[in-house]
Amino acid sequence: MNIRFDGKRALVTGAGRGIGRGIVKKLAECGAECVALSKTQEHLDSLRKEVPGIQTVVVDLADWTATRHALENIGKIDLLVNNAAIAIASPFLETTKDKLDKVFDVNFNSVFNVSQIVARDMVKRGNGGAIVNVSSVGSLIALRNVGSYCCSKGAMDSLTQVMATELGPHKIRVNSVHPHLVPSTDMGISATSSFPSGTLEYILSRIPLNRFPDVDDVANAVVFLLSDKASNLNGIALPIEGGYGAN
């Protein structure tokens, strides 16, 4: 399938590392002009060496007002990927308000904030657009000891449906992807490092395809949903988990 985004401008959050970085590379390969947003300047500098020509924005998405300022003159955005997120390991009974707020500020409130800024402009321009929210299997099933993360992704899923419903009439499609554990990223490494021995093998044995998704699996699904090949897909939640939910 030949997917091209020539003449389109994309904003990807959490683009400095991991899945977001992979998404920027893939979008650029497909001809999109990319704006890569992340918290750490050096990660974006190294991305720019790999993908010359991208625009970068450094901002802490947990800061609502700073994000508004950082994006106020961003210009036309046709494609948005809300990918940045954090996970704080903490059992339900021990999770403090501070931890809950930190996770929700990045994983949910910032998605609301960035999407509102971008979608308002999309509506004003009248050319439609596409948005993909990077959720997780953690919004569909409970993952132990990361309750705040699971709940933040559940809230994101609800927002995906709200946006799909309210923005659809403006030809703006909003969908989500739900990867299983991606062990190769920093978030994946941090998650697996706390697993008791044998846990990873057990989870893998329950995935019919017998492999975890990698960054490319997620980036390919995101690129598809952003593209015109998905022009009648709106409000869908696409699992990327090798059939885990099927058994």
User: Considering only residues 12, 86, 118, 150, which one is a binding residue for ligand NDP as defined by CB under 6 A?
Assistant: 86
Of 96 and 190, which CB lies nearer to ligand NDP in the complex structure?
Answer: 190
The footprint of ligand NDP on this chain (CB under 6 A) covers a number of residues equal to: 28
Of 28 and 62, which CB lies nearer to ligand NDP in the complex structure?
Answer: 62
Least distance CB 75 / ligand NDP (angstroms): 20
Judged by CB under 6 A, does residue 96 bind ligand NDP?
no
Judged by CB under 6 A, does residue 56 bind ligand NDP?
no
Could you confirm whether 202 is annotated as catalytic?
no
User: Considering only residues 11, 36, 81, 85, which one is a binding residue for ligand NDP as defined by CB under 6 A?
Assistant: 85
Torsion of CA 182, 188, 193, 197, to 10 degrees: -20
Could you confirm whether 124 is annotated as catalytic?
no
Q: How many Cβ atoms sit within 10 Å of the Cβ of residue 180?
A: 25
Which parts of 119-178 interact with ligand NDP (CB under 6 A)?
A: 134, 136
Active-site choice (26, 39, 149, 244): 149
Active-site choice (153, 171, 202, 244): 153
Which parts of 198-227 interact with ligand NDP (CB under 6 A)?
A: none
Tell me, residue by residue from 12 to 41, as one string, x for binding to ligand NDP by CB under 6 A and - for no binding. --x-xxxxx-----------------xxx-
- Name the residue among 238, 225, 13, 247 with its Cα closest to residue 139: 238
Q: How far apart are alpha carbons 127 and 6 in whole angstroms?
A: 15
Of 123 and 236, which CB lies nearer to ligand NDP in the complex structure?
Answer: 236
C-alpha 132, offset from chain centre: 7
- Closest residue to ligand NDP, based on beta-carbon distance: 18
Q: How far apart are alpha carbons 53 and 163 in whole angstroms?
A: 31
Of 31 and 181, which CB lies nearer to ligand NDP in the complex structure?
Answer: 181
Three-state secondary structure call for residue 225: helix
Of 7 and 176, which CB lies nearer to ligand NDP in the complex structure?
Answer: 176
Judged by CB under 6 A, does residue 115 bind ligand NDP?
no
For ligand NDP, the binding residues (CB under 6 A) are 14, 16-20, 38-40, 43, 60-62, 83-86, 106, 134, 136, 179, 181-182, 185-188, 191
What residues are annotated to the active site? 149, 153
